Chains A and B, each alone.
Chain A
Amino acid sequence: MCEDCGCTLNDTTHDHGHHTEESVRVMRGLMESNDHQAAHNREHFDRHGVLCINLMSSPGAGKTRLLEATAEALGGRMGMAVIEGDLETENDARRLRDKGVPAVQITTGSACHLDAGMVHAALHELPLDEIDVVFVENVGNLVCPASFDLGQHANVVLLSVTEGDDKPAKYPVMFRAADLVVLSKTDLLEFMDDFDPDNAARYLNDLGMEAAMVRTAAGRRAAIGDWTAWLEARLAAHRSTQRESRPAARDMTTVGA
């Protein structure tokens, strides 16, 4: 607004003799610099034939526990590493190293999401040549992490049965980004009166997507076979068509097709 004449005409140029007000059309994406860094990260992963998976969820939905169970189940067959960005529990990286998984802890201070620059610094600390899959455990938050491309090839969103089954309706941006939704802690389903997996699936369908949903129980008696099957299939597909391996929602504006 021009202070001298008080006008609010932002799209015009006008002259008061002292200055000229000019409107410049820009049309530039606000995430441009992050996206640029993310593309660079993706090149790193691709050069080493590494599949990168971004794990997102609310705090405590079971990301770290699922990674521990995954290491136990696939340790011999698949080289995995973890970029640990969840600040809720500082012990996460140590928990994974105890399972023999290379893990780099990102220390971000108070950030509520990871960005591509943080992941870049961490990926250079990993022996990518020896690794098949890098998991990024994102900050426990269903809002911010959805907006930042990290250079991953797939997004996995955990929804634990101790949360509401309407989370997909409340956080459409996050769940729409999911290539796979993991319904976690299903060993607790029998104690949860108001969580109905069919409702969760219906809310996901309302987002115009048929995102695959697998169930995991990663507690003492782990049952994560559907998850590891998805993971191994995704890795095999990634190797055969590496170029097209991108998170579904990022590239295609077509929903559900």
Chain B
Amino acid sequence: MHELSVCQSLLAQVAEVAAGHDSSRVSSVTVRVGALSGVEPDLLRQAFIVARAGGVAAEADLIIEPDPVRIHCLECETEHGVAPNRLLCPACGNYRVRLVGGEDLILASVALETANTRTSPTTENGEAHV
């Protein structure tokens, strides 16, 4: 079960984000996990509960956004959602397809508490949210 080591890198990244925003309490962590990422959402949830202890995310919720497997057929130029073990074009049967979804393994966002001297919310790069 490598979900524990994936969680450890996740929490290291979360801690960096929190430090960068002078926050000592993270309330939720949102990740995008594709069905072809090699990570099982259930195992990731279990691992998160173990790994989050003692850090800034000790009380954080883990929110997992799915990233469904999608292919673009290079033959008939259509796009389809498919099963992870059937990466063929359902329309024309072709195997020459481009994977356009399903491999993400990404820290999408972190919700955190900051002291009440804040101005406007920012992104990682310091840009304002739209």
Contact = CB atoms under 8 A, between A and B. Distances in A.
B2 A24 contact: no
Interface residues of B, number: 54
Nearest to B59: A3
Given A10-B63, A169-B85, A172-B84, A22 B96 contact: no
Given A19-B115, A254-B98, A27 B37 contact: no
A115 B5 CA distance: 10
B38 A144 contact: yes
Contacts of A148: 2
B85 A144 contact: no
Contacts of A238: none
Contacts of B115: 19-20
B113 A113 contact: no
B67 interface: no
Interface in B26-63: 27-28, 30-31, 36-39, 61, 63
A254 B95 CA distance: 10
Interface residues of A, number: 50
A15 interface: yes
B116 A10 contact: no
Given A2-B27, A34-B9, A26 B124 contact: yes
Interface in A138-175: 143-144, 146-148, 168-170, 172-173
12 contacts: A1-B61, A11-B111, A19-B113, A22-B121, A22-B122, A25-B109, A26-B110, A147-B105, A168-B85, A169-B85, A253-B103, A254-B99
